Copies of this chain bind each other. A is one copy, B any other.
């Protein structure tokens, strides 16, 4: 079973390509203000430079958060250009979390390339991540909207929540006894908060009505949970080439991802065997990895992970129906949400 069974694989929504076109120059302008030591790490992380500092055009992020921010302005009837600062600031915060998470998780690969810390060292990668938080703040403060301070406060709140979620995730590491509800709380902090902010920040910055901003934030929070469930599904069942990470990488690293939490909570023999595998100290052999995947399937962990993704997607789409949104933008948000949940990388 793949996510493609649930939704036919669709071409990438135009809103992502538009975000790349519109937000790229804003990100370039922001990174040009960084010191040379920081800028090379950030632009390597974006895939704009190779490890030697030579220009490159490698696979970067999807720009999902900027795309959401731009659409959220349009959803409340505002021109997309007025949300550019929100879109760029969100991507900078997202990049901050990636640069730091890769260090904390010791992930050496992202999007099929060596992670920034693996290339430049831990210190420079941490500094680059650190720098993006005040830089995001500066990008928002430079905007002319009277709502820029409210937007700044919303982004700071979301950033704090994401960090608290990451700290909780770290506290879960190596544990086999995490309740699914605790996992969901962690994921709603770590992933839901920033997607909730992204899906509403454009509307907030362009002074959309508070009920609309809140409905968009709810849409984003639910989408964030669905997104995380799919991410966790990809961390076990994703195609290594498309995902840019080794097969079943979350199992190899014994991350407390959603399928692993569900599988480890299983009360039958498969659950017992899986817990023993997860508790093992040595790296898992290829044979053990394959056995672990089979156990996850036997405990229904795969099906329940995809079910959670589907349920949260439905919840997200229902939030979209609650506001009086511009129909074209609403449809684009719907399309983007469905794409995110059906994605294979």
- Chain B's nearest CB lies how many Å from the CB of A150? 10
Which residues on B sit within 8 Å (CB–CB) of A124?
A: 167, 170-171
Stretch from A134-142, A239-247, A289-297, A333-341 at the B interface: A134-142
CB-CB under 8 A from A130, the residues of chain B are 96, 100, 130, 133, 163, 166
Interface size on A, residues (CB 8 A): 37
Identify which of A141, A159, A160 gathers the most chain B CB atoms within 10 Å of its CB. A160
- Interface residue ranges of A47-96 to B (CB < 8 Å): 96
Q: Give chain B residues whose Cβ lies under 8 Å from the Cβ of A123.
A: 104, 166-167, 170
Q: Is the interface of A mostly helix, strand, loop or mixed?
A: helix
Partner pick for A163 among B104, B134, B167, CB 8 A cutoff: B134
Of A5-13, A31-39, A199-207, A314-322, the stretch lying at the interface with chain B is A31-39
A298 in the interface (beta carbon within 8 A): no
B141 to A160, Cβ gap below 8 A?
A: no
A141 near B134 (CB under 8 angstroms)? no
Instruction: Find A152's partner among B126, B137, B163 (CB 8 Å cutoff).
Output: B137
Q: A270-286 vs B: 1/0 string, CB under 8 Å? A: 00000000000000000
Using known A-B contacts A122-B104, A123-B170, determine if residue A134 contacts B134 with beta carbons closer than 8 Å: no
Q: Does A269 contact B (CB under 8 A)?
A: no
Residue pair A171, B37 in contact (C-beta under 8 Å): yes
Query: In this assembly, does A234 line the interface, its C-beta being within 8 Å of a C-beta of chain B?
Result: no
What is the total number of copies of this protein in its complex?
2
A103: Cβ under 8 A from any B Cβ: yes
Given A104-B126, A126-B126: A170 touches B37 (CB 8 Å cut-off) = yes
Q: Is the CB of B164 within 8 A of A34?
A: yes
Q: Mark A135-167 against chain B: 1 for CB-CB distance below 8 A, else 0.
A: 101100100000001001100110110011011
Q: Give bound CA distance, A34 to B131, whole Å.
A: 21
Contact residues in B for A127 (Cβ distance below 8 Å): 104, 163-164, 166-167, 170
> Contact at B157–A134, with CB atoms within 8 Å?
yes
Report whether B149 and A134 are in contact in the complex, using a CB–CB cutoff of 8 Å. no
Check: A168 CB closer than 8 A to any chain B CB.
yes
Q: Does A215 make an interface contact (CB < 8 A)?
A: no
> A128 an interface residue at 8 Å Cβ cutoff?
yes
Contact of A35 among B35, B157, B167 (CB under 8 A): B167
Question: Are A37 and B156 in touch, CB under 8 angstroms?
Answer: no
Q: Mark A23-44, 1 if CB is under 8 A from B, else 0.
A: 0000000000011011000000
| Nearest CB on B from A33, distance (A) | 8
Residues of A within 8 A of B (CB): 34-35, 37-38, 96, 100, 103-104, 121-124, 126-128, 130-131, 133-135, 137-138, 141, 149, 152-153, 156-157, 159-160, 163-164, 166-168, 170-171
Q: A133-B133, A138-B157 are in contact. List 6 more A-B contacts (CB 8 A).
A: A37-B171, A38-B164, A124-B170, A124-B171, A134-B156, A134-B163
